[in-house]
Structures are given as C-alpha cells and as structure tokens.
Chain A
C-alpha cells in the first residue's frame, strides 16, 4: 500500500511556548570535558537574521554510535540522546552544547544533521554541518564530493578561536545553504525562484 504523505506547513511564529524545553539545546553538560559549542545565525534572503526560527540537531556520539536512548525531553544530565532543539534568539542566533560526532562508517565524514523550521518557511529543511576538517578530505565523503565546489562550503562548519564550531544557515541568497532531500521524501514543486 502506498499512501500520499500529509503536506507540511509552516511552524508559524508562536511555537515558543510549545517546542523549546529546558535543556533542549544542551546534549551534554557544558562542564563535560569534551563539550563543544555548535552555533550560528539563521539568515533570510536579504541577509537579515531570522528571529523566529528553530533548529533541531541529531548526531552520533564521538565513536560514531547512533544513540537510541529515550529521554530527550527531560534531560537527566547523563544520557547522551544525540538529539537537541534550540530556538534562535532575537538576533537569529542558535547555540547547542554537544560533543563532536564520529564517523558512522567508511566514506562518511563526521557531521551533525540539522532540521530548520521558521515562520515564513512552509516546510522544514534538512542539512548537514560537517566538521571543518572534512574540507581536506572531500573526495572521501560521498555527499560532500557530490556537491559543487562553489556551494560545498555552506555545509562546512568553521572553527572558532575557542574551539567551538560555527555554522550559519542561509535560507536564501548568495550564500544559500545546501539543503537535502531524500528518497521517499516528497519533492517540492512549483517555481522556486
């Protein structure tokens, strides 16, 4: 049986009291010896920060193991669930406290998976934030090597002076982030421009 998926709709502006939850942006405690900050700003097509976006994070642990531990909505301070949710602030900035992901297999550079929602964005967008080191080994990663050189940089986080990772998201414009679609995922139709 093949069913047609339910269409997506915008998350709207008023998710703030519903989706964010205490500790949602902290996959590990900030005192964890391997804690790293993954953060960035969500921009619209004019390069203006989007103040009503929300970003979800999903990642393997440092060894590349995919967590299947429940408990994400009520952080117990110990369990690494691999999942997080962070609303942007008034300046469009999101921030997660997490660990760097490991590779999940041959031909897979380590990356964070991100899902982006925003008022004005009709359906969620998927992307990946690769560690900066992947830039040196693009040929060894299936996805990165399939993205044109001129846009590949939009999938690479940059390293802050303090060791943190910066990953800005551009919904549109010259620096538009490469967003992903998968088999079985309904395709967007209609004029894009």
Chain B
C-alpha cells in the first residue's frame, strides 16, 4: 500500500484501495459485533480511509466528566437571532436558484424522546451543481448567484424544523483519486444541555455514492449509518412546487433532571 498521506490535495490512492480499507474495517466490526461485542452508534474518530482523520483524532480515551451547572445548560437563541425567512434558502436573492426545490423537515428529539423546542438549527450545503459559496471551493462547477446555501431555524413546540432549499449535488474532493462525496446537507444543533451539541450531515436516500464515501462509511454500523439518511415523503411534496424529505434528529439524553427543569419554569 502507498504511504498514508494526510495531504488534502494528495488524491494518491485509487477508489479500489480505499474501498478495500473500508471493507476490512467494516468486516472486523461486524465480526466483533456478531461475537457479542459492542454495537457502534457513532462515526469513528479514527477512520483511516478518510485520510484527514489520521492526524486529527485524539488517541487517548476521552476523560469522563460529571456535568457541572454550566454543562447542564445551553446558550440561548431566540427570535431576535433568527428570522423566519432564514429557513427558506430559495428566497435569499432576487432570483430563483437553479435546481430541484425541496423541503427538508423533521423533528429534533432528545435521547429520552422529548421534543427539543426553541433551539437553534443551522444548516449549510453545496448548490445544485455541487459547489459551495466558499472561496476555497475551487471545484469547477458553476456558482449560482441566487443560492448561498445557508439556513437557520428555531425548533417549534414539537421540536419540528423545516427548510425550503435546493437539492445539493455530489462533488469531488481529493481524499483519493476520483473521490466524490455523497450529496449531503450539514446540520448544526444545540440541545437544552451543552453536552448535546452536535454537527452532522443529512444524506439522500438511494445515493449511488454511499459505498464509495469514507465520511459516510466512517460509521461502521449500517443501522447507525441509516440514521443519517432522510426519507422521501410524498406528503411533504407539493403540487407543482417541491419534493419533500423527512429527517428526524436525535440528540443525546439530557443530563438535567425533571425536577431541576421544573424549578426553572
């Protein structure tokens, strides 16, 4: 095997070599799980097929901390921070963006199944040609002057959120030769506890690139990977207007007790 390089512009290995690395890691995982081992629910911090993770993952165990007062709370965001218009990415310019108009909607819940209400959801994405409005994205696909690709919303009383946007396209990256990312939307979420903070990515069902994408495959368990894939929902599609996707997001459980929450309200 070629020397492992973490240079983001290296594009050294072939897709076949990366595929073999992924298959070996997933095979080892399934064997230990089937032998009664741990079921993984997260991305691995160290996932060598994603070359940039090699020098950027901690090698020592994370240190267990009992959450203190401040970690049981979260920064607060309100309607002063977020305009309702920010949830519609197709309205941010004078003209209509190019591409398939979609609505992405769902609920944000905590690990105990409680809706996470009034919390900030941020999202960002590439345009319908697979290009970000970012000066360092030099992929030669067109920029859309009517699409920035950034949205914000506050979750509603049942934890619901909804974004109107354009379906992003896959795009090339230089992790290896002919490397392409599955189409995705980045999501950033806050819970009621500081400890619930998460950044993740939502994917689209049936993407042909899933098997080839080391970032998506960094989650070794298929059931866990499936949690990042939205569902096409025809009831969210609208006549002559948009197609619809549903994606629920689960944060970790709150470390705060109900009694403490009662005191605050």
Contacts and interface: CB of A to CB of B under 8 A. Distances in A.
Interface of A: 1-19, 44-46, 48, 50, 56, 58-60, 66-74, 81-83, 104-105, 108, 113, 115, 117-126, 128, 142-143, 146-147, 151, 171-172, 176-193
Given A4-B111, A44-B6, A190-B45, 4 more contacts: A11-B188, A108-B69, A125-B58, A184-B253
A13 to B, nearest CB: 6
Tell me what chain B mostly uses at the interface: helix, strand, loop, or mixed. Answer: loop
Nearest to A68: B76
Given A74-B81, A182-B71, A5 B43 contact: no
B194 interface: yes
A40 B151 CA distance: 29
A70 B118 CA distance: 11
A74 B81 CA distance: 6
A7 B227 contact: yes
B197 A115 contact: yes
Contacts of B70: 58-60, 66, 104, 113
Contacts of A7: 41-43, 200, 219, 224-225, 227-228
B78 interface: yes
B80 A71 contact: yes
A113 B194 contact: yes
B52 A5 contact: no
Interface stretch (B95-103, B129-137, B204-212, B232-240): B129-137
B43 A122 contact: yes
B163 interface: no
A11 to B, nearest CB: 5
Contacts of B64: 180-183
Interface of B: 6, 8, 25, 29, 38, 40-47, 50, 52-71, 73-78, 80-82, 109-113, 120, 122-124, 126, 132-137, 148-150, 152, 186, 188, 194-195, 197-201, 215, 218-220, 224-225, 227-228, 249-255
A16 to B, nearest CB: 6
A130 to B, nearest CB: 12
A contact patch SS? loop
Given A124-B199, A147-B63, A188-B44, A172 B76 contact: no
Given A58-B70, A58-B194, A181 B251 contact: no
Nearest to B25: A190
Contacts of A179: 58, 62-63
Contacts of B134: 13-14, 16-17
Contacts of B195: 126, 182, 184-185
A83 B38 contact: no
Contact of B112 (A2, A104, A146): A2
Given A18-B150, A123-B45, A192 B58 contact: yes
